[in-house]
Amino acid sequence: GQQVMQIPQYQHVQEGEDFTTYCNSSTTLSNIQWYKQRPGGHPVFLIQLVKSGEVKKQKRLTFQFGEAKKNSSLHITATQTTDVGTYFCAGRNTNAGKSTFGDGTTLTVKP
Partner 1 sequence: DTGVSQDPRHKITKRGQNVTFRCDPISEHNRLYWYRQTLGQGPEFLTYFQNEAQLEKSRLLSDRFSAERPKGSFSTLEIQRTEQGDSAMYLCASSPDRANYGYTFGSGTRLTVV
Minimum Å distance from CB 38 to partner 1? 12
Task: Report whether 23 contacts 49 (CB < 8 A).
Answer: no
Among 77, 93, 100, 108, binds partner 1 (CB under 8 A): 100
Name the one range near partner 1 by CB under 8 A: 12-20, 47-55, 56-64, 69-77.
47-55
For position 48 contacting partner 1 by CB under 8 A, the verdict is: yes
Torsion of CA 91, 4, 58, 55, to 10 degrees: -80
Max intra-chain CA distance, the chain:
41
Minimum Å distance from CB 61 to partner 1? 15
Closest CA to 5 of 107, 75, 103, 108: 103
For position 33 contacting partner 1 by CB under 8 A, the verdict is: yes
- For the segment 63-92, give every residue that binds partner 1 (CB under 8 A): 88, 90
For position 35 contacting partner 1 by CB under 8 A, the verdict is: yes
Task: Report whether 3 contacts 26 (CB < 8 A).
Answer: yes
Task: Report whether 90 contacts 3 (CB < 8 A).
Answer: no
List residues binding partner 1 (CB under 8 A): 4, 6, 31, 33, 35, 41-48, 50, 88, 90, 95-104
